[in-house]
Structure 1
């Protein structure tokens, strides 16, 4: 017994110094020193990211600081507006762009096919860039509005990489930020398109309130600008087409019936959160299309609080009784025929979100749906132009 034990110890000692069998035993699989790979080979080998890796950009899109780089054209730009000093309740939306980008990580070009539309917006012929963030001051709201207005005008006035519609300008999807960022966006669009635009506004709140509805004995011109008064300001500046705009998902408390009077004068119709029970998503889609049509240049502004706070808690002014993310996405999918020339997703405040990033994930999905609709509409216009006898002639007739 003692001899057998000694033999076993010897065998174990010998095995411990023996190289184990592995794939390295095959010389054809040994790691080789870097070779003179071509640029194409390097791209194939290394220009790939898993959903959990890489620098955080929206859907792993190429990042270009578009505001300081005029040499890289784009058709659709994702631009962050990290601004939240016009809120009336909980701050924190300045971190919204970062949270939405992080939540979009599972969106990749190699698995971005949208079966409801039959296309992959990230693999289409359009150039989509993550343009980074506008460097907005947190100390002076008047200066912040000026910065945002100039940034939106700078980017929105450029020529796109591919002229693809009757409005040969790039489109911007803005990640907010509180909802007040819609005002500088509308000011820029007014200059770009030479007049007012329609507004499709998803929100629990009207945001057409007279600034005086926020009572204070202290007043300044700058205090009139809030995330609840920006559409009132925009309407008074003639930036919104009166009679062709829509609120969708409303359910907040009011100061009185005169809030609706103000809203009526600004030319909005109101679809309440409760209306979905009677109209269904298809009825809401039909109402919006009937109101706006498919020709008017339209700004789509989506406050994430249109979704019920049980599903999207990470926002500054939550209101119970909202729509589900599925309902909002279903409605958006039915509105591709709208002529949306710009869009925003606002009021994501990640400090109040759950550990599962529910709110940011919903916002990222909304962004994906907007991109899909833009690419889908643009592709349909190009196909129609080709069918009408050539892109140039067809484009003139579109």
Structure 2
């Protein structure tokens, strides 16, 4: 009932990935519109990638928030919120922009060559659940809507191994949820939702900024709600006990600071830091090793990716751009290097399409990065496998 109230009041396995590389053709919307012109032709004609309604990677859309009987293994959900940003607004259009940028992911069948897997043709049922309805007039209410909408998607039984034990704190197997933001404030309600099912969780945070600033340092805090924004949400997450201390890590950091005390506070929140410039000394392999050594391969991990991890040359359409970042190729390689990490959920944030080029550089980069994350999840197999392998015994 709580979820319905918030939504109604809104303002307006692995086997398939490895044993066969054969692709299924994308079928079209209406058989009678297909005309056989050559002997032996048959089937239906699919929409072109430039036509049709946009979903992530042109996967099937289901209204999950209004249908309790829809199941899935991986669900995409949008959180169109940007009233917690300190510089450029516009990330409320991020979910639609990322979906637009993802149209070509399935053009040639969706097979991920470097990871040797096809996330679109595997054991996993993957769907797009649309967007959580979010008010733009009341931040406190909007964050509650995001938490409840995400939890409603997260907490139902998955399509695969729904009756098998899993790594949640109740011992259940749950679906994975990938959230399309939205400014980075949305990670706080998402972590609150995750905490309800997993308890304190380990976070991999790709960003150019720390986002652990104390509210009195970042923008002041004339009210409690003003203290919650896209630069302070990890501070609040730490204060609320949502983070697994001493296993979290930032990657891609290169922002200016108010002083070295910002690093000290970051340590209190349980984070280690990988600077963007370290790629020049330890390389991509060194960065991958630091991340995996920090988070381990046994515990549930949440991945939060700010698109400003990329240099503005590759992703200009973001809320707070910082020069000196990684290239799209470097970021995708680093993410692929996280194979083996138990990613149970993820988000991508701060995509503001209004600042993009007409070639959609940023939205395509965001979509392609999520494609790598989705592939990692598929390759890892159902979350029940974590228990089958004797992992996450502490839960």
| TM-score bracket, shorter-length normalisation | 0.7 to 0.9
- Unaligned segments of structure 2, at least 5 residues: 1-31, 35-41, 168-172
Structure 1 residue aligned with 2:355, among 335, 352, 363?
352
Task: Show the counterpart of 1:227.
Answer: 230
Q: Distance in 1 between matches of 2:108 and 2:64?
A: 24
Deviation at 1:379, TM superposition (A): 6.8
Deviation at 1:380, TM superposition (A): 11
Task: Show the counterpart of 1:197.
Answer: 201
Is the counterpart of residue 184 in structure 1 residue 166 in structure 2?
no
User: Deviation string for 1:111-130 (max 9, x for gaps)?
Assistant: 10111122210011211000
Give the number of aligned pairs. Answer: 346
Whether the 8 Å contact between 2:156 and 2:175 is mirrored in structure 1 is yes
TM superposition score normalised by structure 1: 0.83
Whether the 8 Å contact between 2:174 and 2:383 is mirrored in structure 1 is no
Q: Distance in 2 between matches of 1:52 and 1:228?
A: 36
Whether the 8 Å contact between 1:51 and 1:107 is mirrored in structure 2 is no
Provide the secondary structure at the position in 1 that maps to 2:298: coil
Residues 332-343 of structure 1 aligned to structure 2 (within 5 Å): 332-343=335-346
Whether the 8 Å contact between 2:310 and 2:328 is mirrored in structure 1 is yes
For residues 147 and 381 of structure 1, do their structure 2 counterparts lie closer, same or farther at Cα, with a shift above 3 Å needed?
closer
Task: Show the counterpart of 2:278.
Answer: 275
User: Where in structure 1 do 4 or more consecutive aligned residues deviate above 6 Å?
Assistant: none
Residues 1-398 of structure 1 aligned to structure 2 (within 5 Å): 44-46=43-45, 48-108=46-106, 111-163=109-161, 166-167=166-167, 168-193=173-198, 195-216=199-220, 219-378=222-381, 395=388, 397=390
Deviation at 1:153, TM superposition (A): 1.1
Provide the secondary structure at the position in 2 that maps to 1:254: coil
Provide the secondary structure at the position in 2 that maps to 1:66: coil
Deviation at 1:50, TM superposition (A): 2.2
Q: Distance in 2 between matches of 1:84 and 1:252?
A: 21
Q: Distance in 2 between matches of 1:396 and 1:118?
A: 22
Q: Distance in 2 between matches of 1:326 and 1:97?
A: 22
Q: Which has the higher contact order (CA 8 A, sep 6+)?
A: 2
Provide the secondary structure at the position in 2 that maps to 1:122: coil
Task: Show the counterpart of 1:26.
Answer: none
Calculate the aligned-residue CA RMSD, in Å: 2.0
Deviation at 1:70, TM superposition (A): 1.3
Q: Distance in 1 between matches of 2:271 and 2:44?
A: 53
- Unaligned segments of structure 1, at least 5 residues: 1-32, 36-42, 386-393
Whether the 8 Å contact between 2:33 and 2:44 is mirrored in structure 1 is no
Q: Distance in 1 between matches of 2:390 and 2:289?
A: 26
Q: Report which of the two structures shows the higher radius of gyration computed on alpha carbons.
A: 1
TM superposition score normalised by structure 2: 0.84
Provide the secondary structure at the position in 2 that maps to 1:67: coil
For residues 380 and 189 of structure 1, do their structure 2 counterparts lie closer, same or farther at Cα, with a shift above 3 Å needed?
closer
User: Deviation string for 1:100-121 (max 9, x for gaps)?
Assistant: 0001000127610111122210
Q: Distance in 2 between matches of 1:214 and 1:34?
A: 57
Whether the 8 Å contact between 1:109 and 1:120 is mirrored in structure 2 is no
Whether the 8 Å contact between 1:245 and 1:268 is mirrored in structure 2 is yes
For residues 173 and 366 of structure 1, do their structure 2 counterparts lie closer, same or farther at Cα, with a shift above 3 Å needed?
same
Structure 1, 66-75 or 207-216: larger mean CA deviation: 207-216
Question: Which structure carries more helix by proportion?
Answer: 1
User: Deviation string for 1:185-232 (max 9, x for gaps)?
Assistant: 100111111x2001100000000000111345x711110110000000
Deviation at 1:71, TM superposition (A): 1.1
Provide the secondary structure at the position in 2 that maps to 1:207: coil
Provide the secondary structure at the position in 1 that maps to 2:354: helix
Whether the 8 Å contact between 2:178 and 2:345 is mirrored in structure 1 is yes
